Amino acid sequence: MATDNKPAVSIKDMIKKDRILNSGHRMCAGCAAPVVIKLMGMALRGPTIVCNNTGCLEVATTIYPYTAWNLPWIHVAFENAAAVASGIIEATKVMHAKGHFEHEHVDVIALGGDGASFDIGFGAISGAMERGHDMVYMCYDNGAYQNTGIQRSGATFMGQETTTSWAGSVIPGKLERKKPIAEIIAAHKIPYVATVEPSNYRDFITKFRKALEVEGPAFIHAFSPCPRGWRSATGESISLSKLAVETGLHPLYEVINGEEWIMSSASKNLKELKPVDEYFKTQGQFKHLFKPEWADFRKRIQEQVDHDWELLKKRCGVE
């Protein structure tokens, strides 16, 4: 398995690294989640166990009698990957002490979609972060419960249409704002929190490796476009992810010990945000926002995004 100790960030190193997720998985064409997992694999440093919450990734990569995973992998329920990971960490320690397990340290990674992380499993994550287990929790955020039929979640953007926030004559999609999950987890004062997305892949791999290396819990919020739910072209997934950074909808930053905020990669180099309309235009789930009656609502979204961006810049000490 992935025993090479350096993270692979150049293409020549990447193609030599063992893949952790095989072909033949049944994620939709154009889904960015397998790319997120591939990049995660580039950052691994040794024996690793993956715990997966229920979600697209869990369902579509392990359809019986097949599994796409080349790593030890466990799924228990929708909400408890963080709790399962806590158990595994403690169990491997005890088993090693008793001589039943060869490795002194195993990297334990918990994975969840946005539904499992923002809503259903939030308590389990919060608990695991508070108890301080040495794990990495990664949330791949595709903006809704895509697996069960595109229902709204805490990660759904304002104005986004889902099957439980239909846009019509009464409401323009979801009315509430997106839960700032990375900020909430950072408020637990854990050693490392970072936001990533696949198109800035070097930044992704470096941050994931940092998350593995810190002592104590780390949280990664990865943006992961979903062509099926977003009504976008399958080939555009990675460029949409890039656009989300450029429009300020998914800024890239790190938070160390809940105190030191650092703007990173593409977000740091951004002179000014692109208008969110550019992002909305690319997807069917936002097309209702361009009707004249929702022009004011669209303006409100832009103001909200600008406000959040200014606040983040202030926190990170960026002019």
Partner 1 sequence: MSEKYNEIPMAGNIIEPGNSLKYKTGGWRAERPIHTDETCLWVKNGTCGRCWIFCPDNAVVLTEKDGKHAYAYNLEYCKGCGICANECPTQSIHMESESK
Q: Is 7 in the site for partner 1 (CB under 8 A)?
A: no
Q: Is 3 in the site for partner 1 (CB under 8 A)?
A: no
- Judged by CB under 8 A, the chain residues 99 through 158 that form the site for partner 1 are none
How many other C-beta atoms can be found within 10 angstroms of the C-beta atom of residue 296? 9
Residue showing tokens 């104005």: 159
- Considering beta carbons, is residue 39 or 167 the nearer one to partner 1? 39
Name which position in 67, 126, 282, 304 contacts partner 1 (CB under 8 A).
67
Q: Is 2 in the site for partner 1 (CB under 8 A)?
A: no
Name which position in 5, 64, 98, 170 contacts partner 1 (CB under 8 A).
64
Region binding partner 1 by CB under 8 A among candidate stretches 68-76, 93-101, 153-161, 171-179: 68-76
Q: Angle, to 10 degrees, between the axis of helix 201-213 and the axis of helix 33-43?
A: 50
State phi, psi for 171 to the nearest 5 degrees: -125, 150
Name which position in 14, 171, 184, 266 contacts partner 1 (CB under 8 A).
14
Q: Strands, DSSP E only, in 65-185?
A: 73-75, 107-113, 135-141
- Considering beta carbons, is residue 15 or 170 the nearer one to partner 1? 15
Name which position in 25, 133, 174, 288 contacts partner 1 (CB under 8 A).
25
Least separation, in Å, of the C-beta of 101 and partner 1?
Answer: 19
Q: Is 27 in the site for partner 1 (CB under 8 A)?
A: yes
Q: Is 32 in the site for partner 1 (CB under 8 A)?
A: yes
Q: Is 245 in the site for partner 1 (CB under 8 A)?
A: no
Name which position in 24, 149, 284, 317 contacts partner 1 (CB under 8 A).
24
Q: Is 31 in the site for partner 1 (CB under 8 A)?
A: yes
The β-bridge partners of 221 are 139, 195
- Considering beta carbons, is residue 30 or 258 the nearer one to partner 1? 30
Name which position in 52, 53, 54, 61 contacts partner 1 (CB under 8 A).
61
- Considering beta carbons, is residue 20 or 289 the nearer one to partner 1? 20
- Considering beta carbons, is residue 26 or 291 the nearer one to partner 1? 26
Q: Is 71 in the site for partner 1 (CB under 8 A)?
A: yes
Q: Is 62 in the site for partner 1 (CB under 8 A)?
A: yes
Which tokens hold the place of 93?
């320690």
Task: With CB under 8 A as the rule, give the number of residues binding partner 1.
Answer: 44
Identity of residue 127: G
The 205-244 site mask, x for binding partner 1 (CB under 8 A), equals: ----------------------x-----xxxxxxx-----
- How would you write the chain as a 3-class SS string? CCCCCCCCCCHHHHCCCCCCECCCCCCCCCCCHHHHHHHHHHHCCCCEEEEECCCHHHHHHCCCCCCCECCCEEECCCCCHHHHHHHHHHHHHHHHHCCCCCCCCCEEEEEEEHHHHHHHCHHHHHHHHHHCCCEEEEEEECCCECCCCCECCCCCCCCCCECCECECCCCECCCCCCCCHHHHHHCCCCCEEEEECCCCHHHHHHHHHHHHHCCCCEEEEEECCCHHHHCCCHHHHHHHHHHHHHCCCCCCEEEECCCEEEECHHHHCCCCCCCHHHHHCCCHHHHHHHCHHHHHHHHHHHHHHHHHHHHHHHHHCCC
Q: Is 76 in the site for partner 1 (CB under 8 A)?
A: no
- Considering beta carbons, is residue 8 or 129 the nearer one to partner 1? 8
In the complex, the residues that contact partner 1 under the rule CB under 8 A are 11-12, 14-15, 19, 21-35, 38-39, 61-71, 198-199, 201, 227, 233-239
